[in-house]
């Protein structure tokens, strides 16, 4: 008999054989319920110790149905579709996969930035549509060397961006309340507050998680601080940027361009003005993707479930305080990927973790 049960609710990938192999090798029973009706899949979770999901909303009332759940893992970096506080109260570890896709997302952010500053999409469209030549004769482009790039969020992906951009001749600024000055200095980055970053940056790229503190972090006030003609790139989470304020900044020219992979509403509605805005380059939340990143994502999610369901502790989780509730906090050595979360908790409650 299997020692534990793990249920995959949904992830949208073509196969779950990676997860099946890892769970069964650890002595567990793996059930892929991704092709079943959602209510049936949720019913299977009632007796499962491990639950895996990607986009399904997991509010408190749903979590209460997971009577035996030890760990719920979300495929991805963020856990904003899971009621983390409710999970903590119920003693459920909320796992995630913060170390996958760092290379992909950082590269995609740089690609969007380049598409904006070099107006690649616009140039391509003009050449295809009208066989035009010298299409920028009346549209000047500006050298990037010597300008300032501001990085909002200096976690795994933000740090990777900083490393990749270190040879571009740019001045690098970053804002992140949970990063030590010495760490930033080692990357060649100056730590500043958000207002100063907005005021001094020619380009701003967003790499912060979606938290109550970061929803609409980029709004009419912060956009108003940015230099006229600056560029904003968002490969983090859509709600970090207030859409209406973004549109106004684009329409007035406060922003020259925006490169967006994520949106407040996804999929982006067909009628959204962002879809056809001449100052926007957009992609469909694909920054994370490569074949290697997807395999890493699936493997990491399954390994966390197997680890916790066989008596171990997770490497990364969104709710460290659940380990206090379980009486196991002192056993746990946090990964670098979750140390920012511990610092955030310390700051919010004034305690030590």
Residues assigned a catalytic role: 237, 266, 285
132 with 329: CB under 8 angstroms?
no
40 with 29: CB under 8 angstroms?
no
Pairing of strands 203-206, 71-74: unpaired
Name residue, tokens 């922003």: 255
Tokens of 214: 């970061």
The CA–CA distances, whole Å, from 296 to 22, 27, 301, 328 equal 12, 21, 8, 27
Other beta carbons within 10 angstroms of residue 264's beta carbon come to 18
Distance CA 231, CA 115 (A): 11
Sign of CA dihedral 343, 344, 349, 350: positive
In sequence order, the β-bridge partners of residue 282 are 260
Residue 182: which residues within 8 A CB-CB, separation 6 or more?
none
Tokens of 147: 């300008």
66 with 44: CB under 8 angstroms?
no
Tokens of 111: 């690609």
Instruction: Tell me 241's DSSP state.
Output: B
260 with 285: CB under 8 angstroms?
no
């Amino acid at each position: 008999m299997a020692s534990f049960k793990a249920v995959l609710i949904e992830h949208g990938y073509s196969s779950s054989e990676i997860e099946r192999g890892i769970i069964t090798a650890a002595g567990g029973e793996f059930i892929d319920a991704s092709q079943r009706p959602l209510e049936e899949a949720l019913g299977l979770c009632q007796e499962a110790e491990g639950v895996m999901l990607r986009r399904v909303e997991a509010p408190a009332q749903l979590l209460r149905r997971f009577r035996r759940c030890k760990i719920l893992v979300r495929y991805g970096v963020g856990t904003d579709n899971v009621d983390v506080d409710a999970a903590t109260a119920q003693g459920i570890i909320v796992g995630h996969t913060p170390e996958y896709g760092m290379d992909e997302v950082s590269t995609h952010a740089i690609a969007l930035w380049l598409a904006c500053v070099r107006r690649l999409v616009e140039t391509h469209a003009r050449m295809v549509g009208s066989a035009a030549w010298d299409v920028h004769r009346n549209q000047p482009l500006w050298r990037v060397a010597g300008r300032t790039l501001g990085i909002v969020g200096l976690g795994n992906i933000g740090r990777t961006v900083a490393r990749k951009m270190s040879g571009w001749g740019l001045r690098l600024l970053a804002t992140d309340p949970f990063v030590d000055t010495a760490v930033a200095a080692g990357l060649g980055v100056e730590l500043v507050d958000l207002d100063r970053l907005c005021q001094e940056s020619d380009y701003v790229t967003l790499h912060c998680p979606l938290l109550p503190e970061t929803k609409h972090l980029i709004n009419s006030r912060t956009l108003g601080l940015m230099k006229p003609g600056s560029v904003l790139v968002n490969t983090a989470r859509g709600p970090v940027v207030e859409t209406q304020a973004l549109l106004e900044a684009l329409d007035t020219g406060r922003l020259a361009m925006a490169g967006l992979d994520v949106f407040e509403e996804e999929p982006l509605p067909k009628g959204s003005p962002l879809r056809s805005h001449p100052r926007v380059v957009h992609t469909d939340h694909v920054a994370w993707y490569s074949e290697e990143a997807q395999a890493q994502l699936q493997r990491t999610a399954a390994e966390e479930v197997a680890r916790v369901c066989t008596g171990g502790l997770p490497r990364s989780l969104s709710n460290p305080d659940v380990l206090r509730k379980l009486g196991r906090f002192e056993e746990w050595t946090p990964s670098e990927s979750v140390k920012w979360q511990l610092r955030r908790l310390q700051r919010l409650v004034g305690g030590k973790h």
